[in-house]
Amino acid sequence: MTIGTQIAWDDTVLPFQLDLSDIRGRVARLDGVLDQVLKQHAYPPQVEALVCEAALLTALIGQTIKLRWRLSLQIRGTGAVKMVATDYYGPTEDGEPARIRAYAHFEADRLDPEARPFDLLDEGYFVIVIDQGQGMTPYQGITPLTGGSLSDCAQTYFAQSEQLPTRFALTYGRSQQPGAAPHWRAGGVMIQHMPKASPFVADQGGSGAGGLLQSADILDGSEGENWTRVNLLLDTVEEMELIGPSVAPTDLLIRLFHEEAPRVYDAQPVRFGCSCSAQKVRDALSIYSAKDLRHMTTPEGVLTADCQFCGAHYEFDPATLGFEAGKAAPDGA
């Protein structure tokens, strides 16, 4: 099958379980979602690569959240790339697709064309936020940027914050069909052991950089042996298998883990989707005073706002916005 052709498992996440190893996981393939995310912007290739990796991680991690919940990744750096942000919105109903959006903020004049994408972040933090909906306090977990890739950061996050040994095998890049424009495609596998870890293990320090926990610090005995064996099997995966233009996720799991009794569940479709709206922008601007809003207003007397994720453009009359406007309209009109 030619790379670039839409196939049945594009833009899906397939959950699975390895019954003989007490390990669960997901296989993700992203194609059209990445096109929709990236066409909103004109990112340099290095920044596109970071956005693609973050979106793929978001799809793999987010598949576990419940209906109508939101999972966000926020990668904050001190280098040329200041932030990569993603959101995964759980389906609104069973059987509906999940939605992903992503964007990056960077300083173009500081980009080193020879640097690896991850190195453009320099120092910083990897943050996961889970929003369970109105009336609930969002959960937030933070770990330093470490290890040389966003997937390494995610693995450290799960070991340090959740005491869950986790491994990602990811690949992403531009593919091109003869006569067609190149586009980004990504694929990956996530595996995760569910140990009976002591809640105090994080307080004992680990073998990672700066004393952060690693998988080997959490597992021992038969659990450690199972984890090592499955990781060795995952080490044999090839990039073209991960990208998956001609290998279905189920075939990949059988090839890698047939001796571990893999069991698959229903695949979750994912689509590009943004939650922005004029009302949400109004709500965000309601904290500002009339003086503040005047500084945001164009010479034509219009206040404009653009969504960083989808590029939607909003225009408002400043007189209808802001803290003073809210006080003047008790009913929120």
215 & 312 share domain: no
pLDDT average, residue stretch 310-321 = 86
138 located within any domain: yes
Tokens coding 188: 């990956």
Q: What does the pLDDT look like over 70-121, one tens digit per residue?
A: 999 999 999 999 999 999 999 999 889 999 999 999 999 999 999 999 999 9
CA 78 and chain centroid, separation: 20
126 & 221 share domain: yes
228 has a pLDDT exceeding 80: yes
157 & 287 share domain: no
224 & 151 share domain: yes
6 located within any domain: no
36 & 135 share domain: yes
Residue closest to 87 by CA, chosen among 148, 128, 49? 128
Tokens coding 97: 């697709």
Domain boundary among 272, 287, 316: 272
143 & 264 share domain: yes
The CATH number for 200's domain is 3.55.30.10
Contact 121, 49 (CB under 8 A): no
186 located within any domain: yes
3 located within any domain: no
258 & 292 share domain: no
286 & 203 share domain: no
Q: Structurally, how many domains does the chain consist of?
A: 2
Contact 76, 104 (CB under 8 A): no
300 located within any domain: yes
125 & 240 share domain: yes
State the average pLDDT for the chain: 87
DSSP 8-state assignment for residue 242 = H
256 has a pLDDT exceeding 60: yes
Domain boundary among 272, 292, 310: 272
151 & 282 share domain: no
Q: Give 331's pLDDT tier (boundaries 50, 70, 90).
A: very low
Is the C-alpha dihedral spanning 238, 240, 244, 247 positive or negative? negative
pLDDT average, residue stretch 204-228 = 76
DSSP 8-state assignment for residue 220 = -
314 located within any domain: yes
- Please list, in sequence order, all residues whose beta carbon lies within 8 angstroms of the beta carbon of residue 43, skipping any fewer than 6 positions away: 51, 104, 106
47 & 107 share domain: yes
Q: What angle do CA 176, 179, 185 make, to 5 degrees?
A: 15
Domain boundary among 272, 288, 305: 272
219 located within any domain: yes
2 located within any domain: no
- Domain span at residue 218? 12-272
194 & 299 share domain: no
333 has a pLDDT exceeding 50: no
Query: What is the pTM for the complete model shown?
Result: 0.85
248 has a pLDDT exceeding 90: yes
